[in-house]
Amino acid sequence: MDQIDLKHPDLYINRQLSMLEFNARVLEQARMPDNPLLERLRFLCIVSTNLDEFFEIRVAGLKQAQELGSTQAGADNRLPHEILRGISRRGHELVAEQYRLLNEALIPALEREGIRFIRRGEWNAALRAWVRQYFEESLLPVLSPMGLDPAHPFPRILNKSLNFIIELEGMDAFGRNSGMAVVQAPRSLPRLIPVPCQATDGAHDFVFLSSIIHAHVQQLFPGMTVVGCFQFRVTRNSDLYVDEEEVDDLLVAMEGELQSRRYGDAVRLEVAANCPEHMARFLLDEFELTDDDLYEVDGPVNLNRLLAVCDSVDRPDLTFPAFTPGLPVAITQASSIFKLLRGQDVLLHHPFQSFAPVMDFVRQAARDPGVLAIKQTLYRTGPDSAIVDALVAAARAGKEVTVVIELRARFDEEANIQLANRLQEAGAHVVYGVVGHKTHAKMILVVRRENGKLRSYVHLGTGNYHSRTARLYTDYGLLTADRAMGEDVHSIFLQLTSLGKVAPLEKLLESPFTLFDGLQQAIEREADHARAGRGGRILLKVNSLVEPRTIQALYAAAMAGVEVDLIVRGMCALRPGIPGVSEQIRVRSIIGRFLEHTRVFYFANGGDPVLLASSADLMERNYFRRVEIAFPIENPELRAQVLHDLNDYLRDNTQAWLLQQDGTYRRAEPKSGEAPFSSQNALLARLAEQG
Catalytic residues: 440
Query: Which helix (H) or strand (E) covers residue 529, if one does?
Result: helix 515-531
In 3D space, the residue among 370, 357, 361 whose CA is nearest the CA of residue 397 turns out to be: 370
Number of C-beta neighbours around residue 254 at 10 A = 20
Amino acid found at 13: I
DSSP states of 150-170: TTBPPPP--TT--EEEEEEES
CA 381 vs CA 384, 411, 437, 470, 603: distances in Å: 8, 12, 19, 10, 32
**Is 278 in a helix, a strand, or coil?**
helix
* The 3-state secondary structure of 214-260, one letter per residue: HHHHHHHCCCCEEEEEEEEEEEECCCCCCCCCCCCCHHHHHHHHHHH
Distance in angstroms (rounded) separating the CA atoms of residues 642 and 560? 26
**8 Å CB contact between 376 and 444:** yes
192 pairs with which residues across the strands? 208
In 3D space, the residue among 168, 293, 182, 304 whose CA is nearest the CA of residue 231 turns out to be: 182
* The 3-state secondary structure of 313-362, one letter per residue: CCCHHHCCCCEECECCHHHHHCCCHHHHHHHCCEEEEECCECCHHHHHHH
**8 Å CB contact between 279 and 230:** yes
In 3D space, the residue among 377, 443, 384, 379 whose CA is nearest the CA of residue 407 turns out to be: 379
In 3D space, the residue among 189, 164, 185, 183 whose CA is nearest the CA of residue 270 turns out to be: 164
Listed in order, strand segments (DSSP E) in 553-683 are 563-568, 585-590, 595-596, 600-603, 610-614, 626-632, 656-659, 665-667
Classify each residue of 272-304 as buried b or exposed e, where b means 16 or more C-beta atoms within 10 Å of its C-beta: beebeeebbebbbebbebeeebbbbbebbbbbb
Q: In sequence order, which ranges of 8-56 are alpha helices (DSSP H)?
A: 15-31, 37-53
Distance in angstroms (rounded) separating the CA atoms of residues 596 and 599? 9
User: CA torsion angle for 28, 33, 34, 40 (degrees, to 10)?
Assistant: 60
Q: What is the largest CA-CA distance in the chain?
A: 90
Amino acid found at 89: R
Distance in angstroms (rounded) separating the CA atoms of residues 21 and 27? 10
